[in-house]
Amino acid sequence: MDELPLQLLFIALVVLLFLSAFFSSSETGMLALNRYRLRHKANNGNKSAKRVSNLLSRPDRLIGVILIGNNLVNVIAAMIVSEISKELYGSLGMVIGSFLLTLTLLVFAEVTPKTIAAIHPERIAFPASFILSPLLKVLYPVVVAVNFMSNALVRIFGMDPTGKARADHLHPEELRTVVNEAGDLIPDQHQGMLLNVLDLEKATVEDIMVPRNEVAGIDLEHGIEAILDVIRNSEFTRLPVYEGDVNSVVGVLHLRNIARYLNHDKAITHDVIRQTMREPYFVPESTPLHTQLLNFKLEKRRFAIVVDEYGEVQGIVSLVDLLEEIVGEFSTETAQQIEQDIIQLDSDWYRLEASASVRDVNRCLSWHLSTEGPKTINGVIVEYLESIPEAVCSFQLGQYRFEITALSETRIEAANVMRVNELV
């Protein structure tokens, strides 16, 4: 073989190595793409993203055309190396040439291009789609034939090779990880709200309701002067209206609707209150917060009476209470109350009011007290001790050490709590 053909063989070999690197990097780049970013770009009109999305819609065909091209290139390269080695060094050269080709393919046509594609998948996949799309059309009969046989084997294992059954949907916990890992891409405040929205399904109305013993309302069995005193001094815009007992709720009074009567005391009567109030809206205490948020919207309500499985009133919940679970406390009074309920004594100990919500304690101190059972610190202590202690005492519940500091005949008043180091 004269010099010119040998030079052409070397040039052809270099070209084939570049083609092999192209196919290898294309495969990794296509499969390493962020599907959600790709879908976002495609929806915004990015032509390259649309082209790549079309290719990825049938991963069996995409992989088929890439591997057919890659293997064809590698086989031809092996034949050329064999011819060059035989021409230059004889039979022994063919063995050496095969070894050198394998090493060259591994470094320059496999590991290096795939590493680059894994780091910058869009920079590789988008330009590659310009070549792979028409190449798929040219090799379509061959690709279909190869896929027919390979897909038959894949279906034996109970899988869909076309990718139609592949779920790109994120589980809530996976979405939580995505939000946490967003870093500076999402402001901290927005990040917190997104995480709080995901947490709505973990909490129920019972977790955020105003308990029955703290409910302020209007008792129609009281005199009109007592009722007016409640209305004038109320901190809330809506009050439940009941007859004798809070379990006998008959309506909800919006103080805006009764305000026009306040300058004419005689005009306000029990009948006026009954005519002005709206029928009550009852919700089960076990309703998840994300469901209740939708229910408030569907019912066009902002205020609900919470009842248990026996129909007994357990408390009240408002739309504001629910929204505060997402965006944080609206009123400074509520935030100040939480600060008063949780007081840091030193670097380890905290004084907790027994009426403090377990969820508020967990949120403020980044603790993980169980929220599956009792909703207050008093409930947690009583459930563990199975009685109301007669004197101050201490105990350890999981990672948390409790020291009761104040109590009454009916409930725990306060306790000092410390999270114990797991290593101790």
Q: Which domain holds residue 105?
A: 3-156
Q: Are residues 272 and 323 in the same domain?
A: yes
Instruction: List the single range of 160-164, 215-219, 407-411, 420-424 with lowest mean pLDDT.
Output: 420-424
Q: Are residues 381 and 291 in the same domain?
A: no
Task: Report the pLDDT value the prediction gives residue 243, as an integer from 0 to 100.
Answer: 92
Residue 363 counted as domain residue? yes
Q: Are residues 96 and 79 in the same domain?
A: yes
Out of 327, 357, 385, a domain closes at: 327
Q: Residue 1 pLDDT more than 60?
A: no
Q: Are residues 299 and 265 in the same domain?
A: yes
| Whole-number percent of the chain with pLDDT over 90 | 38
Q: Residue 133 pLDDT more than 90?
A: yes
Residue 196 counted as domain residue? no
- Residue-wise pLDDT for 216-246, tens only, equals 899 999 988 888 888 888 888 899 999 988 8
pTM, 2 dp: 0.65
**What pLDDT band is residue 92 in, cutting at 50, 70 and 90?**
low
Task: Taking residues 373-383, report their average pLDDT.
Answer: 88
Is-contact 98 82, C-beta < 8 A?
Answer: yes
Q: 116 burial class (0-12, 13-18, 19+ CB within 10 angstroms)? A: middle
Count of C-beta atoms within a 10 Å radius of residue 148: 10
Q: Are residues 261 and 283 in the same domain?
A: yes
Q: Residue 98 pLDDT more than 90?
A: no
Q: Are residues 27 and 136 in the same domain?
A: yes
Task: Report the pLDDT value the prediction gives residue 112, as an integer from 0 to 100.
Answer: 94
Task: Taking residues 47-54, report their average pLDDT.
Answer: 92
Averaged confidence pLDDT in the chain: 86
Residue 170 counted as domain residue? no
Q: 113 burial class (0-12, 13-18, 19+ CB within 10 angstroms)? A: buried
Q: Are residues 367 and 262 in the same domain?
A: no
Q: Residue 189 pLDDT more than 50?
A: yes
CA pair distance 331, 91, nearest whole angstrom: 88
Helix (H) or strand (E) holding 305: strand 303-307
Instruction: List the single range of 89-103, 159-173, 255-269 with lowest mean pLDDT.
Output: 159-173
What's 33-91 look like in SS3? CCHHHHHHHHHCCCHHHHHHHHHHCCHHHHHHHHHHHHHHHHHHHHHHHHHHHHHHHCH
What total of structural domains would you count in the chain? Answer: 3
CA nearest to 23, candidates 77, 99, 90: 77
CATH number assigned to the domain comprising residue 232: 3.10.580.10
269 versus 65: which is more confidently predicted?
65
Residue 186 counted as domain residue? no
Out of 133, 156, 179, a domain closes at: 156
